[in-house]
Amino acid sequence: MSEQYKVTESDQSKRIDKLLTEVIEEASRSQIQGWLKDDVVLVDGKAVKSNYKVQEGESITWHIPEPEPMDILPEDIPIEIVYEDEDVIVVNKPSGMVIHPAAGHYSGTLVNALLFHVKDLSGINGVERPGIVHRIDKDTSGLLMVAKNDLAHQSLAEQLSKKTVERKYEAIVHGEIHHEYGTIDAPIGRDPKDRQRMAVVDGGRDAVTHFRVLRHFTDFTLVECKLETGRTHQIRVHMRYIDHPLAGDPKYGPRKTLALNGQALHAKSLGFEHPRTGEWKKFEVEPPAEFKETLKYLETKEV
């Protein structure tokens, strides 16, 4: 399926390879340059070079090549299945587990575990990502919904697109937030200074995070974040943007932080309409032991 992007006024005169790294979050600049070389990307139906500077109103179309199939093996890895029926699985992913195989992570992923525990998964996302409708970061724990067939996958993906899926996270952030509620509405794209990171940037994709304070600690705050959109690293980037980066975040947080194995972020609540019955399903799980132990430690520091 081809995808399309209309060049806006703010995109004017940007190099096409740079622009597309902001538009296609999952692709690197070198990948996009390869696609341009292979004429996978077209501007108003014509092939262009990587240094082509786009003009407002132009239509960019591309068809991402299918990845080379990998031999993904089922692995007997324990996973916590919170809910399962003929259409959907809800799992409580542990911190430290990668969602699907990729370079450097060909085994030990959630997909490897799912292939062992579940006979059928949706094939819409291809061999590498069977059943995966949405993702949470490797070091983020918590709830994830997985589709067991294409009907379920299409329904859940459409609900995500329409922003009707309810996703709530708990996070421990640096600093003391002095207001109880807030909304961060700031576009997210590739960080122009570091292509391995995301950032709030002009011309980025719309991103909205709602938050409320759950508890105050000395130098830290426990917050609940509700996603309206689902951009890569959204909560991590947005909280850093308002000067309250997540504790333990190796990519977006300060060096002097709490002793954690990754960011203190837990996907605690997930709600969606069942793809077959239309029934509203909602699930909630407690944070992992390390998260709870960190909260206990912060309690000892309270004034």
Q: Name the token pair of 28.
A: 């690197």
The answer to whether 70 and 117 are in contact (CB under 8 A) is no
- The CA-based angle 110-112-116, given to 5 degrees, is 110
How far is residue 185's CA from residue 183's CA, in Å, rounded to a whole number? Answer: 6
Q: Is 137 a catalytic residue?
A: yes
Helix (H) or strand (E) holding 81: strand 80-84
What backbone torsions phi and psi does residue 281 show, to the nearest 5 degrees?
-110, 130
Q: Name the token pair of 90.
A: 């809800």
**Catalytic, out of 17, 87, 137, 249:** 137
The answer to whether 8 and 56 are in contact (CB under 8 A) is yes
200: nearest Cα among 153, 150, 235, 159: 235
Q: Name the token pair of 280.
A: 């509203």
Which residue in this structure is represented by tokens 């292939």?
115
How far is residue 107's CA from residue 101's CA, in Å, rounded to a whole number? Answer: 7
Q: Work out the burial of residue 64: count CB atoms within 10 Å of its CB; fewer than 13 is exposed, 13-18 middle, 19 or more buried.
A: middle
How far is residue 239's CA from residue 245's CA, in Å, rounded to a whole number? Answer: 5
Long-range interactions of 124-129: CB distance < 8 A, separation 24+: 124/150, 124/153, 124/154, 124/157, 125/153, 126/66, 126/67, 127/67, 127/69, 127/70, 127/72, 128/67, 128/69, 128/70, 128/72, 128/100, 128/101, 128/102, 129/99, 129/100
Tell me the catalytic residues.
137
